[in-house]
Structure 1
């Protein structure tokens, strides 16, 4: 999926919602545990009820690969369920030496046909470039994350006073373009989203941290939206675990719709 197709989906649905699929056997509704494949049943119900409001789904690969070979089988089945006009993100945070990254890219882009994969930039250009070689596929590079430990490295300043995350943003734009490179920018860093947008005016941002982590959707839009929206705002726990009862999927739908309605207003305000 290219940038114009993604923006078209945002316009059609008046939404820039990404639903994170983090299926934890300890958190999914208990009645699903009697199913042959509880994780698949859970994700299937969530997708069916939220697809009207989502423009992207982000399976967190760790929740699948922790289950071994069966987890990979489940991931393949889940990815097949996602409508083809909805953007897919393999939240795998890969990044290794070049020949290894090339195989990671083949795994997620060819074998599983995801539209994008999250990538860690620490090892530099040769660890990221193999992912950028696939047509109509995307790298979503970690830039400014919302976890507490992000301050250990991302905000360290060089002698000129430039934080490391800004160097990552500037350097990585030499490797890719707004057509194949996005950035992870945490919603809980609202005051810094505007700084990131100044450095990367045309790129899409994947923004986690809205909802359960306390990020403000209105602040994200205020500081991060550009002329093509430029945002995919992810909500995981706030949607998929809104209920642990048999009505979990219907409650998830209501939570997704709430966010979509707010997004509609923000799109009307800023675009």
Structure 2
């Protein structure tokens, strides 16, 4: 089980905030890895994990890449999560599933990712309200609410002012942080929004931030880090996926991934 303070200590001891995104696309796996789709993806994933675990404190599995492979993809998702937890239990494991629904449905999602699979956290859409997040609040687990995402379409709603002049993302931060504590909830905040990340940190000084958008999407790592760190010098996961996974398309892909991951140490 994890707490906010335990995560802070892990970051400070390893001197990294890196979260490696396992958004594995079978079409991008190096050609020398052969076999069935399950064999290829598992060999690729385990090689990436072996190469990067020293340089990161978390892994984030984007479930869409596995769901797209059908029933077999769910098996690969399960076995990848199990591999991480059986070999590197000190690493925080995020299901990037972006779920969001009411009542019994939300409880089933929580059961799937917390009970049937060994995830420590799951990303959630806040659109349907606080009651849709409550089933994911468990001791030692974290709900990660989408507040300000890294895509260009985030301006369609998240940056729009409400009646009091505050943008919608701020209302999300205020509402959810008032209800759930630092050991229960985190917030997604896109690095592509630059100095707004600093505003987010000021609004939720004690909650963790999961930050996508560094690297391929254009967010600057050092600027984001300085804007997002909490008073303890931690409090943030900065996610990198493609920059690490596909650092090389040849037999040295794992070595190249390790080099790319090591650049996030501080």
TM-score grouping bracket, smaller chain normalisation:
over 0.9
Q: Spell out the pairing of 1:57-136 with structure 2 (5 A cutoff).
A: 57-82=59-84, 83-132=88-137, 134-136=138-140
Q: CA deviation at 1:157?
A: 0.6
How far apart in 2 are the matches of 1:57 and 1:22?
10
Q: CA deviation at 1:8?
A: 1.9
How far apart in 2 are the matches of 1:173 and 1:160?
19
Contact 1:141 1:184 in 2 (8 A): yes
How far apart in 2 are the matches of 1:7 and 1:98?
32
Contact 1:154 1:165 in 2 (8 A): yes
Q: Which residue of 2 aligns with 1:28?
A: 29
Q: CA deviation at 1:209?
A: 0.8
Normalization by structure 2: what TM-score? 0.95
Q: CA deviation at 1:4?
A: 2.0
How far apart in 2 are the matches of 1:201 and 1:4?
13
Root-mean-square deviation over aligned CA pairs? 1.1
How far apart in 1 are the matches of 2:252 and 2:259?
11
2:183 is aligned with 1:161: no
Contact 2:22 2:61 in 1 (8 A): yes
How far apart in 2 are the matches of 1:30 and 1:175?
49
Gaps of 5+ in 2: none
Q: Spell out the pairing of 1:47-58 with structure 2 (5 A cutoff).
A: 47-58=49-60
For each residue in 1:170-229, what CA deviation from the matched residue of structure 2 results, as whole angstroms up to 9, or x when unmatched? 111233111111000001111201111111011110001111111111111221111231
SS at match of 2:166: coil
How far apart in 1 are the matches of 2:124 and 2:78?
20
How far apart in 1 are the matches of 2:179 and 2:103?
14
Q: Which residue of 2 aligns with 1:186?
A: 190
Q: Which residue of 2 aligns with 1:151?
A: 155
How far apart in 1 are the matches of 2:25 and 2:8?
31
How far apart in 2 are the matches of 1:119 and 1:33?
35
Normalization by structure 1: what TM-score? 0.93
Figure out how many residues of one structure are paired with residues of the other and give that number. 260
How far apart in 2 are the matches of 1:178 and 1:50?
27
Contact 1:129 1:175 in 2 (8 A): no
SS at match of 1:213: coil
How far apart in 1 are the matches of 2:205 and 2:154?
23
